[in-house]
């Protein structure tokens, strides 16, 4: 009950885009069971034994009751009926005096034997249903483990264009919620389904064999129960979805009022906000009550059907008993098996909803796993020899989809070893795409990117990327110490090397001011450090690789001017003597660059040095004035003439 | 992730928690339910009725056996029947009894349905009331509370606590109450029917209860661990997906995958361990249930066969054996449910405790009893020897005294942490001073109602907060009764009209979370329009530090100038032009006004302001020179403005 409620609320909480899940995902997920062959086999083996034990119990109870009843009849006849009439009474009870005596003598031992067998079966049943449930859980955990590892490995190796198109949150959900949903189905749903079918069919067969007339009486109730469950499933899903929608509307108001508390207070809008919230709270309550109404009608109704089944059996079974064609033990057995029929029916409703959710989830999981990694080593890829630093773009175009608009088009240039290339252009002009093509985060759609004359697609990714230092615009640090983060690209670096890189990147001074120095843990996503500090650590991280080729997306919009000056100094240190590609925002970087590429809508609109361009290119002049930020030359101003 | 040094994130630390002060918390809940006591009492009566039908059904089945199927008139109280009754009479009797049974079942279904509905009705009303109280409290709390408690934490506290209460108020509470009632009732019935027989039959119940509480206790412990592990898995995923570009750039894929594998395996193992307890509970209870059946039949059967009453009580009839059989089969479910759901109820009570604790916080900024309305403000603002701080013994401001005349613009400058924001927070009384006083038109802000004060003060914050609503509503937030034309006029004043009209749906465009979809500069223009619409007498501005493009920058500047016109204004200034135009500039350092005067006066002092100017504002001068439109050759103006040449 609890798990089904939680299930439904989870189901409602998740609202996704309209992406249609693919079919057959669930089948593929089930095939992963192959890796858990041993535990899965144990689970299903135990299931069969446990179900047989369960099915035996009513029969055993009947044996006990029969023994008691026959003994009781014998007692009654011998005890209350006058001796001459005993034979007649026995005949009326459908037996003989001799049989009665035998019954009376054997009743107690029969009863006790039957009881002992029940206890034995109870132990058997308990043991095997534990094995079944535990092994099913273990199997499903193993399966979730495999799926998560595969998703993670896949995600780690996807090309950048995949991340451009997908949000972190979406990918997270697939590895957590979706895997959990598939796991739930395989742990519970699949086993429950097997158990339910086994139980339902075996119980129905036993019912027919025991007393087919009686079975026919309750048969019409079964389809009613099935229909009710389906109705229930169909009605409750959208209701829960609506609850989630209203709850999130309510939470949005709450969130906004907390985040914007100052604005609310400043404009004294408390009464207005309170009214807004009350409306949302009332609307949520109404929906909750709607669900309650549905539940308070449907749940008892479903329960009632099973109870009516028992009443039907009592009446028609009772008629048979009175008529002498059924005895009490058999009646009791029948009513127990009847529970075994209704119980699995209830489970099937639950299983169907699990299956629907798991199917959609499996589709989403395999959607990731099936993404072809566009960027992989060629089979005959060679190891890139130590880079000299010449980078050539030869008629390079790139588009995300084969049919899409080109992001860059026919870009050609050559950067000689040691040169600094500055890229300029509006947002979306293709600057980032160009720098991402060099370490092969994307592959060119046409044309080629060559490093020292070698096509980047002909060398191994490892040998290529390990020689390129990159500072990305958005700095991600990883949980671990500051040292771990600086040594991110070279875990074998010595302390001296780490400190040297830190000093060059202007990191050392603030690191040693922390109580734990280089062992200071960096919080989740580096939150304990300021933007400028994070960025400098990222620079140290790149510096430690001592790369011959450097790529900088040096946005410093989030840092104050003093920090900006320090970062600039660190970057200047870093660029010295290396071929560097810089998405430039600072005048000094651009002015000092050996080659400036001005990009406009994916094409190189102008190229040259600052002096050349300021004369010739109007686009350059415009960008220069509107986008570039003047440098704070602290040393210079401090020494400024007074 | 790296080296696992980040440690477990306490994502779900409070999943299952126990209330510390049960009775007070329950009393508070009782108080809430008190408003709906009719519903609550009704729900309890309905539950009792439903339980009655559940207890009675086995008795009727027993009667069917004793009266008609296997007549034993001695134990047949339902009707008189005898062993020699005709078959037809017995069937007719049986039919009427089954009829009663069906009626009882239907009544039971109705009662339990109604009980559930009434219960959730009362529960939902209580929950709504609690939510509304919480929401009120959010607004009542002073900003000091939010300085100490992160908004995200307050938010998740409120949502998760109300969520646990929500979950417990429906099924869980109903099932726990009716389950407990059913168990107690059945036990009483059995004891009444035949004490020794009942005691023997019930002998497994304590074992069941023990097993249940042992296994569910262990499982809860194990699940706590597995939740932590799941938190690690999530954190690892989050980090690696968000940082995937870096991982690839630095060739860290293999290490990263291996690390995840370890976290993932730890999660799997923790889950399997928890599963060993959860999966054991059901089989154990089921097996014990079968043992109970065996005991009932053996004890009852032997007594019947030997015609020996147990310990001198009434003889056991076959019907009684049947009734007992039905009873013992009804134990399993409620015991299990109570074990599982009790946790929910417990967490809900603990959640309630935290909610009540939040509701009990007394805001340190409150209207005095007898506070008057602030009369229309002229605009004189005076700080008299003001000290202030957010935490005890950590003063942020010391001995701040100044006076701003109506219509003046005051620029506040200084390094981060100097206390600039604290000063402006004191004017609309977001905080109270710890010493001294803040006077507006000679009236202490603590002597008037906060609402009447704040209504006359406008605020434009650095991080412009917008609501996820239309642009129109966001501007109208400044004055709810403003007409569309007034809103547009305010937008024009704030130079926001042009870009708003270019939005897909103009003023009806719905802004995303935190104003997403607009640039920071545009968001600030909207918040300027909002303040303009409110037409406040005193204006407080916190200029944005982050760079916006030059065009927007100029628009904002123009909008600010328009807005400042004729109002007393306090500006946390980041732009040189603002400072230059200010009537007074306060240079703040470590909570003290170290220098005051006009821009030129302060530069001449060559003190702290001069240093700040050199490191921060000089660049603007240069930039301004290079903007071609002003037509002055680069360098010339800079030279002219260079402090040395002033």
The 10s digit of each residue's pLDDT in B157-189 is: 788 788 888 878 777 788 888 888 988 988 998
B-interface mutation test, from A66, A133, A265, A556, most B Cβ less than 10 A away: A265
Q: Flag whether pLDDT at B9 surpasses 80.
A: no
Over residues A91-134, the pLDDT tens digits come to: 766 677 787 788 777 888 888 888 898 899 999 999 999 999 89
DSSP for A315-356 reads HHHHHHHHHTSS-HHHHHHHHHHHHHHHHHHHHHHHHHHHHH
Interface with chain B: mutation pick from A49, A160, A268, A563, highest number of B CBs within 10 Å = A268
> Quick one: B2-9+18-360 is in which CATH superfamily?
ABC transporter type 1, transmembrane domain (1.20.1560.10)
Interface test with B, best of A243, A318, A566 (most B CBs within 10 A): A318
- Yes or no, beta carbons of A319 and B159 under 8 Å apart: no
Chain A residue nearest residue B245, CA to CA: A160
- Per-residue pLDDT tens for B105-159? 999 999 989 998 998 888 889 899 999 999 988 888 887 788 777 777 787 778 8
Q: How far is A489 from chain B (nearest CA, A)?
A: 5
Q: How far is CA A402 from the centre of its chain?
A: 30
- Where does B435-518 show beta strands of DSSP type E? 435-440, 443-444, 457-460
B234 with A524: Cβ contact below 8 A: no
Q: Closest by alpha carbon to A138, among B227, B262, B279, B216?
A: B279
The CA distance from A70 to A327, in Å, is 10
Residue with tokens 């109580």, as numbered in its chain: A515
As beta bridge partners, residue A382 has: A459
**159-198 of A, contacting B, C-beta below 8 A:** 160, 163, 168, 171-172, 175-176
A118 half-sphere exposure, CB direction, 13 A CA radius: 27
Give the ipTM.
Answer: 0.75
Residues of chain B contacting residue A64, judged by C-beta atoms under 8 Å apart: 294, 297-298, 301
Q: Look at residue A6 in the predicted model and tell me its pLDDT.
A: 35
Q: Of A370-374, A478-482, B99-103, B512-516, which range is least confident?
A: B512-516
- The rounded distance, in Å, linking the Cα atoms of B572 and B542 is 5
Facing B249 at nearest CB: one of A256, A268, A470: A470
Residues A319, B244: C-beta atoms closer than 8 Å: no
Do the Cβ atoms of A261 and B455 come within 8 Å?
A: no
Which residues, at least 6 apart from B410, have a Cβ–Cβ distance to it below 8 Å? Answer: B402, B404, B568, B569, B570, B571, B582, B583, B584, B585, B586
Element (H, E) at B576: helix B576-581
Chain B interface includes A297 (CB < 8 A): yes
User: Are the Cβ atoms of A259 and B275 closer than 8 angstroms?
Assistant: no
- Helix or strand or coil: residue A605? strand
Give the gap in angstroms from C-alpha B609 to the nearest C-alpha of chain A: 14
Beta bridge partners of A552: A471, A582
Tell me what pLDDT residue B635 has.
36
Mean pLDDT of A499-528: 78
Residue B116 has its nearest CB partner, among A5, A296, A541, at: A296
Give me the count of residues in chain B: 646
Contacts of A487 in chain B (CB under 8 A): none
Give B504→chain A minimum CA distance, Å.
Answer: 21
Asked if B466 and B515 touch (Cβ cutoff 8 Å), the reply is: yes
Which segment of A436-445, B56-65, B107-116 scores lowest on mean pLDDT?
B56-65
**A149:B251 CB<8 A:** no
pLDDT value for B498: 83
pLDDT value at residue B102:
93
Q: In terms of Cα–Cα distance, which of B439, B427, B429, B398 is closest to B541? A: B427
The percent of residues above 90 in pLDDT, for chain B, comes to 12
The fold of the A24-210 domain, in CATH, is ABC transporter transmembrane region fold (1.20.1560)
Q: Tell me, what's the pLDDT at B625?
A: 42
Q: What is the longest distance spanned by two Cα atoms in chain B?
A: 130
Under CATH, to which class is A473-546 assigned?
alpha beta
Query: Rounded CA gap, B188 and B178, in Å?
Result: 15
- Give A461's contacts in chain B (Cβ within 8 Å): 251
Q: Is residue A167 classed exposed, middle or buried when 0-12, 13-18 and 19+ CB atoms within 10 A define those classes?
A: exposed
Say which range, A257-266, B49-58, B355-364, has the weakest mean pLDDT. A257-266
For the full predicted model, state whether its pTM sits above 0.90.
Answer: no
According to DSSP, residue B448 is labeled: B
The beta-carbon neighbor of A260 closest among B1, B451, B467 is: B467
Q: Is there a contact between B286 and A258 if contact means CB atoms under 8 Å apart?
A: no
- Cα–Cα distance, B564 to A578 (Å, whole number): 51
Is residue B629 within 8 angstroms of chain A, CB to CB?
Answer: no
Could you say which of B155, B302, B627 has the minimum Cβ distance to residue A625? B627
Question: What does the pLDDT read at residue A640?
Answer: 35
Confidence of residue A448 (pLDDT cuts 50, 70, 90): very high
| Least confident among A6-20, A65-79, A294-308, B415-429 | A6-20
CB of B300 less than 8 A from some CB of A: yes
A545 touches chain B (CB under 8 A): yes
Residue A11 clears pLDDT 70, i.e. is over it: no
Nearest chain A residue (CA) to B627: A625
Q: Is residue B408 scored above 60 in pLDDT? A: yes
Long-range contacts of A513-520 (CB under 8 A, 24+ apart): A514/A482, A516/A481, A517/A482, A518/A481, A518/A482, A518/A483, A518/A486, A519/A481, A519/A482, A519/A483, A520/A481, A520/A482
Partner B, chain A 595-614, Cβ-Cβ below 8 Å: none
Nearest CB neighbour to A61, from listed B2, B293, B300: B293
Three-state SS letters, B139-193: HHCCHHHHHHCCHHHHHHHHHHHHHHHHHHHHHHHHHHHHHHHHHHHHHHHHHHH
Say whether B465 and A288 touch across the interface (CB within 8 A).
no
Query: Does B260 contact A at CB distance below 8 Å?
Result: yes
What's the CA gap between A410 and B13, in Å, rounded? 55
Residue B1: predicted pLDDT:
28
Which residues, other chains included, contact A285 with Cβ-Cβ below 8 Å and sequence gap of 6+?
B124, B125, B127, B128
Judge whether A24-210 and A383-467+550-556+578-642 match in fold. Answer: no
CB A366 within 8 A of CB A419: no
Q: Chain A contacts of B478, Cβ < 8 Å?
A: 267
The encoded tokens of residue A618 equal 């109007």
> Do A267 and B534 count as a contact with CB atoms less than 8 A apart?
yes
Task: Say yes or no to pLDDT of B637 above 60.
Answer: no
pLDDT at B555 over 80: no
Q: Is A202 helix (H, G, I), strand (E, B) or coil?
A: helix
A641 pLDDT band, cuts 50/70/90, is very low
CA nearest A288 in B: which residue?
B124
Interchain CB distance below 8 Å, A479 and B642: no
Q: Picking from A51-65, A577-591, B489-503, which range would have the lowest pLDDT averaged per residue? A: A577-591
Domain boundaries defined on chain A: 24-210, 212-325, 383-467+550-556+578-642, 473-546
pLDDT > 90 fraction of chain A, expressed in percent and rounded = 10
* Angstrom distance (rounded) from CA A480 to CA A522: 6
Do A115 and B547 make contact, defined as CB atoms within 8 angstroms?
A: no
Distance CA B567, CA B406 (A): 7
Instruction: Inspect the interface and report whether the beta carbons of B252 and A629 lie closer than 8 Å.
Output: no
pLDDT for res A523: 61
Contact flag B255-A491 (C-beta cutoff 8 Å): yes
* Confidence grade of residue B4 (pLDDT, cut at 50, 70, 90): very low
Cβ–Cβ contact B159 with A under 8 A: yes
In this predicted structure, what is the pLDDT of residue B192? 87
* DSSP structure class, residue A479: S
Q: What does the pLDDT read at residue B548?
A: 55
Please judge whether A137 and B275 are an interchain contact, meaning their C-beta atoms are less than 8 angstroms apart. yes
Record: contact B132-A277, CB cut-off 8 A: yes
CB A57 within 8 A of CB A118: yes
Examine the pLDDT at A395 and tell me if it is beyond 90.
yes
How do the domains of chain B map onto residue ranges? 2-9+18-360, 381-616
Closest partner residue to B477 (CB to CB) among A269, A274, A561 is A269
User: Cα–Cα distance between A197 and B43 in angstroms, integer?
Assistant: 38
Tokens of B343: 């946790």
pLDDT at B77 over 50: yes
Pairwise CA distance, residues A574 & A315, whole Å: 92
Question: Quick one: which of B448, B464, B457 has its CA closest to B404?
Answer: B457
What per-residue confidence (pLDDT) applies to A628? 57
In the prediction, which pLDDT does B103 show? Answer: 93
- DSSP-H helix ranges across A166-220: 168-173, 179-184, 190-210, 212-218
Long-range CB contacts (within 8 A, 24+) of A98-101: A100/A70, A100/A73, A100/A74, A101/A74
Which of A178-192, A328-342, B120-134, B548-562 is predicted with the least confidence, judged by mean pLDDT? B548-562
| Partner-chain contact B70 A328, CB within 8 Å | yes
Of A112, A488, A524, the CB nearest to B235: A524
- Over 80: is that where the pLDDT of A457 sits? yes
Contact A552, A439 (CB under 8 A): no
Mean pLDDT along residues A362-389:
84
Closest CB to B105 among A268, A273, A308: A308
**Contacting B residues, span 38-77, partner chain A, CB-CB under 8 Å:** 57, 61, 64-65, 68-70
Q: How far apart are CA A420 and CA A387, in angstroms?
A: 16
Q: Do A274 and B139 count as a contact with CB atoms less than 8 A apart?
A: yes
Q: What is the pLDDT of residues A593-634, one digit of tens each?
A: 889 998 887 888 889 988 888 888 887 877 776 555 544 333
User: What letter would DSSP give residue B470?
Assistant: B
- What does the pLDDT read at residue A47? 92
Residue A371, CB half-sphere, CA atoms under 13 Å: how many? Answer: 24
Q: Is B9 on the interface with A (CB under 8 A)?
A: yes
Q: Which residue has the tokens 């004191």?
A: B426
CATH class of A383-467+550-556+578-642: alpha beta
For chain A positions 354-383, those within 8 Å of chain B (CB to CB) are: none
State the architecture of B381-616 in CATH terms. Answer: 3-Layer(aba) Sandwich (3.40)
pLDDT digits (tens, 9 = 90+) for B565-602: 888 999 887 777 778 888 999 998 888 898 899 888 88
How far, in Å, are A408, A432, A606, A624, B193 from residue A621 at the CA level?
22, 21, 11, 5, 101
Average per-residue pLDDT for chain A: 80
Q: Which of A616, A569, A604, A606 is nearest to A589 (CA)?
A: A569
Q: Which residues of A touch B448 (CB under 8 A)?
A: none
- Residue-wise pLDDT for A75-98, tens only, equals 777 777 777 777 777 776 667 778
pLDDT tens digits for range A277-291: 999 999 999 998 898
Tokens standing for residue A80 = 């209350």
Could you check whether B2-9+18-360 and B381-616 share the same CATH topology? no
Say yes or no: B273 contacts chain A, CB-CB below 8 A: no
Tell me what the mean pLDDT of segment B455-480 comes to.
Answer: 83
Check A322 against B95: CB less than 8 A apart. Answer: no
How near does any CA of chain A get to the CA of B95, in Å? Answer: 6
């Amino acid at each position: 009950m609890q798990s089904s409620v939680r299930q439904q609320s989870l189901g409602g909480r998740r609202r996704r885009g309209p992406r249609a899940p693919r079919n057959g995902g669930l089948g593929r997920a089930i095939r992963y069971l192959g890796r858990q062959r041993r535990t899965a086999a144990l689970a299903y083996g135990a299931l069969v034994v446990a179900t047989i034990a369960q099915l035996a119990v009513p029969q055993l109870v009947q044996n006990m009751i029969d023994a008691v009843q026959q003994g009781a009849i014998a007692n009654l006849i011998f005890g209350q009926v006058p001796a001459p009439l005993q034979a007649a009474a026995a005949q009326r009870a459908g037996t003989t005096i001799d049989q009665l005596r035998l019954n009376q003598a054997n009743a107690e031992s029969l009863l006790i034997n039957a009881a002992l067998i029940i206890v034995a079966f109870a132990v058997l049943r308990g043991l095997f249903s534990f094995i079944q449930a535990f092994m099913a859980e273990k199997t499903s955990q193993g399966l979730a483990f495999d799926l998560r590892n595969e998703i993670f490995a896949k995600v780690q190796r996807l090309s950048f264009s995949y991340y451009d198109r997908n949000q972190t949150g979406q990918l997270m959900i697939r590895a957590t919620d979706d895997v959990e949903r598939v796991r739930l189905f395989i742990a519970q749903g699949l086993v429950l389904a097997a158990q339910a079918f086994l139980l339902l069919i075996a119980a129905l067969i036993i019912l027919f064999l025991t007393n087919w007339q009686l079975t026919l009486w309750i048969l019409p109730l079964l389809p009613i129960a099935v229909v009710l469950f389906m109705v229930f499933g169909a009605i409750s899903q959208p209701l829960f979805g609506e609850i989630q929608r209203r709850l999130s509307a309510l939470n949005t108001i709450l969130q906004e009022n907390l985040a914007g508390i100052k604005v609310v207070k400043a404009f004294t809008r408390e009464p207005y906000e309170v009214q807004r919230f009350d409306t949302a709270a009332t609307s949520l309550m109404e929906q909750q009550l709607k669900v309650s109404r549905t539940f308070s009608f449907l749940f008892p109704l479903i329960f009632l059907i099973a109870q009516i089944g028992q009443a039907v059996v009592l009446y028609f079974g009772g008629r048979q008993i009175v008529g002498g064609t059924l005895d009490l033990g058999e009646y009791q057995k029948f009513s127990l098996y009847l529970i075994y029929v209704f119980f699995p029916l209830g489970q099937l409703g639950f299983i169907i909803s699990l299956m629907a959710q798991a199917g959609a989830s499996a589709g989403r999981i395999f959607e990731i796993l099936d993404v072809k990694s566009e960027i992989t080593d060629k089979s005959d890829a060679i190891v890139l020899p130590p880079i000299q630093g010449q980078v050539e773009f030869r008629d390079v175009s790139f588009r995300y989809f084969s049919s899409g608009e080109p992001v860059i088009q026919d870009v050609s240039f050559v950067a000689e070893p040691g040169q600094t290339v500055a890229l300029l252009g509006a947002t979306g002009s293709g600057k980032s795409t160009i720098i991402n093509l060099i370490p092969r985060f994307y592959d060119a759609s046409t044309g080629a990117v060559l490093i020292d004359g070698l096509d980047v697609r002909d060398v191994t990714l490892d040998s290529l990327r390990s020689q390129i230092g990159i500072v990305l615009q958005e700095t991600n640090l990883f949980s671990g110490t500051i040292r771990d983060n600086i040594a991110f690209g070279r875990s074998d670096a010595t302390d001296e090397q780490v400190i040297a890189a830190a000093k060059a990147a202007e990191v050392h001074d603030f690191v040693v001011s922390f109580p734990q120095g280089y062992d200071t843990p960096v919080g989740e996503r580096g939150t304990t450090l300021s933007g400028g500090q994070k960025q400098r650590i990222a620079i140290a991280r790149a510096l430690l690789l001592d790369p011959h080729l450097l790529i900088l997306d040096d946005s410093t919009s989030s840092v104050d001017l003093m920090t900006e000056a320090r970062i600039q100094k660190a970057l200047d240190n870093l660029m010295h003597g290396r071929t560097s590609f810089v998405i430039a925002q600072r005048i000094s970087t651009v002015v000092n660059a050996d080659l400036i590429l001005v990009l406009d809508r994916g094409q190189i609109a102008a190229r040259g040095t600052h002096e050349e361009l300021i004369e010739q290119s109007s686009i350059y002049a415009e960008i220069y004035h509107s986008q570039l930020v003047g440098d704070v030359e602290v040393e210079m101003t401090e020494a400024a003439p007074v | 992730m790296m080296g696992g040094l980040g440690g477990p994130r306490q994502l779900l630390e409070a999943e299952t928690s126990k209330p510390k002060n049960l009775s007070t918390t329950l009393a508070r809940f009782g108080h809430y339910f008190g408003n709906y006591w009719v519903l609550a009492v009704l729900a309890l009566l309905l539950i009792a009725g439903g339980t009655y039908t559940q207890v009675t059904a086995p008795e009727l089945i027993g009667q069917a056996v004793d009266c008609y199927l296997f007549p034993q008139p001695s134990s047949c109280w339902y009707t008189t029947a005898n062993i020699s009754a005709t078959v037809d009479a017995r069937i007719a009797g049986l039919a009427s009894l089954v009829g009663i049974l069906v009626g009882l079942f239907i009544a039971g279904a109705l009662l339990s349905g109604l009980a559930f509905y009434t219960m959730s009705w009362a529960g939902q009303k209580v929950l709504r009331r609690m939510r509304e109280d919480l929401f009120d409290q959010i607004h009542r709390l002073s900003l000091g509370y939010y300085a100490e408690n992160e908004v995200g934490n307050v938010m998740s506290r409120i949502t998760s606590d109300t969520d646990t209460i929500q979950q417990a108020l429906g099924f869980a509470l109903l099932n726990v109450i009716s389950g407990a009632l059913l168990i107690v009732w059945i036990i009483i019935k059995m004891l009444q029917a035949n004490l020794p027989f009942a005691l023997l039959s019930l002998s497994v119940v304590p074992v069941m209860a023990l097993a249940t509480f042992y296994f569910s206790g262990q499982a809860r412990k194990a699940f706590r661990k597995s939740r932590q592990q799941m938190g690690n898995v999530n954190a690892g995923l989050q980090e690696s997906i968000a940082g995937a570009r870096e991982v690839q750039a630095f060739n860290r894929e293999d290490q990263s995958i291996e690390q995840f594998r370890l976290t993932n395996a730890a999660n799997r193992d923790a889950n399997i361990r928890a599963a060993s307890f959860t999966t054991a509970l059901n089989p154990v209870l089921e097996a014990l249930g079968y043992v109970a059946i065996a005991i009932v039949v053996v004890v009852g059967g032997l007594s019947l066969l030997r015609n020996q009453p147990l310990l001198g009580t009434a003889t056991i009839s076959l019907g009684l054996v049947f009734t007992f059989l039905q009873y013992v089969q009804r134990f399993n479910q409620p015991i299990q449910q109570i074990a599982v759901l009790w946790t929910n109820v417990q967490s809900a009570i603990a959640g309630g405790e935290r909610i009540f604790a939040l509701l009990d916080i007394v805001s340190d900024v409150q209207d005095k009893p007898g506070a008057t309305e602030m009369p229309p403000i002229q605009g004189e603002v005076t700080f008299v020897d003001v000290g202030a701080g957010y935490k005890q013994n950590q003063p942020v401001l010391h001995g701040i005294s100044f006076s701003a005349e109506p219509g003046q613009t005051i620029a506040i400058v200084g390094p981060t942490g100097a206390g600039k924001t604290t000063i402006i927070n004191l004017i609309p009384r977001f905080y109270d001073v710890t010493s001294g006083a803040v006077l507006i038109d000679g009236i202490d802000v603590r002597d008037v109602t906060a609402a009447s004060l704040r209504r006359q003060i406008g605020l434009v914050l650095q991080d412009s907060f917008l609501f996820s609503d239309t642009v129109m509503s966001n501007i109208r937030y400044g004055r709810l009764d403003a007409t569309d034309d007034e809103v547009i006029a305010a937008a024009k004043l704030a130079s926001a009209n042009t870009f708003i009209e270019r939005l897909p749906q103009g003023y009806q465009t719905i802004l995303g979370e935190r104003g997403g979809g607009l640039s920071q500069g545009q968001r600030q223009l909207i918040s300027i329009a909002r303040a303009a619409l409110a037409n406040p007498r005193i204006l407080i501005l916190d200029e944005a530090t982050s760079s916006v493009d030059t065009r927007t920058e100029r628009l904002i500047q123009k909008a600010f100038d328009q807005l400042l016109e004729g109002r007393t204004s306090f500006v946390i200034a980041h732009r040189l032009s603002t400072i230059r135009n200010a009537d007074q500039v306060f240079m703040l350092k470590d909570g003290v006004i170290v220098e005051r005067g006009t821009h030129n006066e302060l530069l001449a002092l060559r003190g702290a302001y001069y240093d700040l100017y050199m490191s921060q504002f000089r660049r603007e001068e240069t930039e301004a020179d290079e903007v071609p439109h002003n037509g002055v050759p680069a360098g010339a103006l800079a030279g002219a403005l260079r402090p040395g040449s002033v």
